[in-house]
Structure 1
Amino acid sequence: MHRLTADDIPAYEDLPVIERLGYPHAWDVFGADDHLGTLNYLTPDVVAAALSEASRGVVVALNLPIDQPAPPLFGREPTKHDFFTHDRNTWDDRLDAYFPQGSSQWDGFRHVRAREFGFFGGVTADPSQDKSWLGIDVWARRGIVGRGVLLDVAAYLLRSGDELRCDAERAITPELLREVASEQGVEVRHGDLLLVRTGWPRKYAQLTGERRTELAEAPAFPGLHAGEETARLLWNWRVSALITDVPAVEPVPGDPAVGSLHRRLLPLLGIPLGELFDLEGLSDRCQEYGRYTFLFTSAPVNLPGGCGSPANALAIF
């Protein structure tokens, strides 16, 4: 891990640009052969400072059941969960057709590439042929721990008479994120894990089975605006990761003219992305306590060369 302070990090405007893409990249910021990207911000001093957030001893799990959403999205198969017995006293179970990124999950650096320019750091090796680069196992070996900050967009909009639908494309702008942070009285600090709540899982669960099937076949979801200003805000806020409760972080199906937030953040800026986290209980606790910061922990699975992982995440007050 590279010990970086906020003063060591160039502003978004000062990053080099891949001209054929028109997107800035941070491939040289964290040193050669880096596998962590902005997780490098989670230095021992940043983690130690975050421990003070856990003063109440209240734990909130942030994970959906692994069989949710149902039916699965983006062409994935349903997980098959079987039980079997070794003898009359010992039972075991087995998962088949299990997609580590099918429910609450991390997008790792092998999930999305920037066209022919490669994955984060410019790595062009095929993940199926070379497991030695950028696998989720690198994150698993260090864990993800730091100060979490919730921007409760759903609660903010509801107070203003607005509401995000779970089955329609809508962009959450950088301006809206700033408004929510200001209204909540929180400052996003160097190294924070930024969580953005839309209320998607709760609303999706209330849809009819027929409507959920339609969404699986023709997805339409809200998310963070996919344009450059969102990438600029997140980079200049120095977040160590972006975590959401929506299926794809950005709006679906998206606008090719705006571009891809996944491409901007994962392979180019090295910002890890969390999707489909369950933030409903977290929202309740934040509103109850009148604070939107907490200790955040996540233990990705140690899957060598993996493209992603279940979240295994907790918030601790």
Structure 2
Amino acid sequence: MDIDATSLPEYAELPRLEDIGANCSWGVFGPDDELGTLNLLDAEAVRAATASVRTGERIGLSLPLDQPDPPLFRREPFQHTIKRIGSMWDDRLDSFFPQGSTQWDGFRHHRVREHGFYGGVVDDPATGNPRLSIHQWARAGIIGRGVLLDVAAHLSGSGYDPLAERSISADDLRAVARAQDVTIRPGDVLCVRTGWLEAYRALEPSAREEISARKSGLESAGLGADEATAELLWDWHIAAIGADNPAVEVTPGDPAVGSLHRRLLGLLGIPLGELFDFDELAVRLRDLGRSEFLFVSVPLALVGGLGSPGNAVALL
């Protein structure tokens, strides 16, 4: 459905779930909505976004499927088998986690307690269930004006460590946008470079193994999980947000503050992308003196899927 972003309610005008202590956008995009804020990526938004392509350069934004290595969040490494079938060769993947590398979290990834998933859908995920399935996002892809906010560059020299628990506040995001002289527009795919991936790749293998095995919780800088962050992202009317860290939000985080996954995925219908590789893109955009590009990502058409590899590229 085509949505006029100027007619969308502000966060403060959305219905509130008092027991959760947060507002929700359920019903804003229709009673049986599958796309959330991806509805903002209509034909006109995509057409306008193509103006961001000026040089024709292409930069991949996805990690190899076997990275991070070892896998994070107790996931297993996948097994890749090559099989000969007559004169042809084929691949098979076993123990493959679609959310193990650069990935999108779907709307079935995080539940809002007894209220259910995005839109108030209360049934549990199931294989082949099309409702709120990631394949709904694959129909048209996630294509729009990408804007990179380079938080790592903005905070460099201040003692900032992306491998430590550090909350990037709504005010931080505003400050980075001002410093880069960029305005976030409705329908943008907001890309946040925390510097986590660059720092992680610089570690010795033993240090990466320690991060993967840590039982106390993976530590990373990330977006604050508070309501102020959710309010800003909704009021900016972004189509989706991606980051270069493992969870978009700060980890392990403070349970008293809450979960940004629940606020964005479950309550507001804003897709989250994790472990996107923005390092090369950041360097090139800095050289060009710009922050915008055409973002192109096509999730897997996996019916019943809870998430998908990112399959993303930036066109400059």
TM-score range, shorter chain: over 0.9
How many residues of Structure 1 are paired with residues of Structure 2 in the alignment? 313
- Of 200, 205, 209 in structure 2, the residue corresponding to residue 209 of structure 1 is 205
Q: Is the 8 A contact 2:128 2:303 kept in 1?
A: no
Q: Is the 8 A contact 1:224 1:250 kept in 2?
A: yes
CA distance in 2, matches of 1:136, 1:196: 22
1:167 deviation in Å?
A: 2.8
CA distance in 2, matches of 1:74, 1:207: 18
**Corresponding position of 1:131:** 129
1:179 deviation in Å?
A: 0.8
Q: Is the 8 A contact 2:145 2:294 kept in 1?
A: yes
CA distance in 2, matches of 1:49, 1:163: 39
**Corresponding position of 1:236:** 235
Give the 5 Å matches for 1:211-230. Answer: 211-218=207-214, 219-230=218-229
**Corresponding position of 1:97:** 95
- Residue 165 (structure 2) pairs with residue 169 (structure 1): yes
**Corresponding position of 1:109:** 107
CA distance in 2, matches of 1:118, 1:198: 31
CA distance in 2, matches of 1:56, 1:19: 49
CA distance in 2, matches of 1:26, 1:148: 23
CA distance in 2, matches of 1:6, 1:107: 23
CA distance in 2, matches of 1:83, 1:199: 35
**Corresponding position of 1:291:** 290
- Residue 263 (structure 2) pairs with residue 267 (structure 1): no
CA distance in 2, matches of 1:55, 1:11: 33
CA distance in 1, matches of 2:88, 2:160: 47
Give the 5 Å matches for 1:36-47. Answer: 36-47=35-46
CA distance in 1, matches of 2:159, 2:139: 39
CA distance in 2, matches of 1:309, 1:103: 9
- 3-state SS in 2 of match to 1:210: helix
Give the 5 Å matches for 1:73-88. Answer: 73-87=72-86
CA distance in 2, matches of 1:23, 1:196: 23
Q: Is the 8 A contact 1:154 1:163 kept in 2?
A: no
**Corresponding position of 1:145:** 143
Give 5+ residue unaligned stretches, structure 2: none
- 3-state SS in 2 of match to 1:243: strand
- 3-state SS in 2 of match to 1:213: helix
Coordinate RMSD, CA, aligned:
1.2
TM-score by length of 1: 0.96
CA distance in 1, matches of 2:275, 2:158: 22
Q: Is the 8 A contact 1:167 1:215 kept in 2?
A: no
- Residue 30 (structure 2) pairs with residue 31 (structure 1): yes
* Greater mean alpha carbon deviation, residues 4-13 or residues 302-311: 4-13
1:230 deviation in Å?
A: 0.2
CA distance in 1, matches of 2:6, 2:202: 46
Give 5+ residue unaligned stretches, structure 1: none
Q: Is the 8 A contact 1:136 1:305 kept in 2?
A: yes
Q: Is the 8 A contact 1:245 1:279 kept in 2?
A: yes
Q: Summarize deviations over 1:197-217 as a string: whole Å, max 9, x none.
A: 012122111112222122112
CA distance in 1, matches of 2:194, 2:17: 32
CA distance in 2, matches of 1:132, 1:86: 33
1:168 deviation in Å?
A: 1.5
TM-score by length of 2: 0.96
CA distance in 1, matches of 2:293, 2:128: 37
Runs of 4 or more, structure 1, over 6 Å off, are none
**Corresponding position of 1:314:** 313
- 3-state SS in 1 of match to 2:261: helix
**Corresponding position of 2:301:** 302
**Corresponding position of 2:17:** 18
